[in-house]
């Protein structure tokens, strides 16, 4: 699976069911392993906020990757 495939999926927290946002980047080690994904957290009033909040999601925090959604345990 490519990073561009993951960037089109919605990231949802399984603890509260909230839609976090979408993956915008990935941190990769020198050996080629993914360390974490960076998720741009969406806000209700996007246009009033300058700059978004980012959350780093490690591979261990991913519960399931579905066809449209990535479930994470934060």
pLDDT for position 50: 55
**Which domain CATH number covers 34?**
2.30.30.240
Which strands form 69-72's sheet, in the order they lie side by side?
53-58, 34-41, 19-28, 10-13, 69-72, 62-65
Put simply, whether the predicted model's pTM sits higher than 0.95 gets the answer no
d(CA 14, CA 70): 10
The predicted pLDDT at position 42 comes to 73
- For residue 44, what pLDDT is reported? 57
27 is in which domain, residue-wise?
Answer: 3-72
Maximum pairwise Cα distance, the chain? 40
Q: Which pLDDT belongs to residue 31?
A: 94
Domain tally for the chain?
Answer: 1
- Model pLDDT, residue 37: 94
Mean per-residue pLDDT pooled into runs of 10, the chain (74 residues): 88 92 92 92 60 85 95 94
């Amino acid at each position: 699976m490519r990073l561009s495939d993951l960037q089109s999926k919605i990231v949802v927290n399984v603890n509260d069911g909230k839609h976090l946002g979408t993956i915008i980047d990935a941190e990769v080690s020198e050996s080629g392993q993914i360390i974490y994904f960076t998720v741009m957290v969406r806000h209700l009033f996007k246009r009033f906020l300058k700059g978004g909040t980012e959350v780093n999601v490690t591979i261990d925090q991913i519960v399931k990757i579905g066809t449209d959604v990535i479930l994470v345990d934060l």
